[in-house]
Structure 1
């Protein structure tokens, strides 16, 4: 029996760098310029300091 196909995520402006990294075999995470907190999943603001 064939494996079911998974839906592929559609990159957004916030996640595009992450998906580009997966194609390159890299794990790319965001780091806040204000407080240096590293976070995942990608989002438009820092979950630690909200900048």
Structure 2
């Protein structure tokens, strides 16, 4: 998810996803390098 999309981040966090960090200048979008916020979810083993 692109850095700064706070509403989307809140939806992910409400569904047990966690921000894993920031990937700086991860991809080029409309001529500008964009940071990325990777989210992840760990499902506990039974």
Q: TM-score, normalised by structure 1?
A: 0.30
Q: Which has the higher strand share?
A: 2
Larger Cα Rg: Structure 1 or Structure 2? 1
Task: Work out which structure has the larger RCO, using CA pairs closer than 8 Å and 6 or more positions apart in sequence.
Answer: 2
- Report the TM-score, using the length of structure 2 for normalisation: 0.32
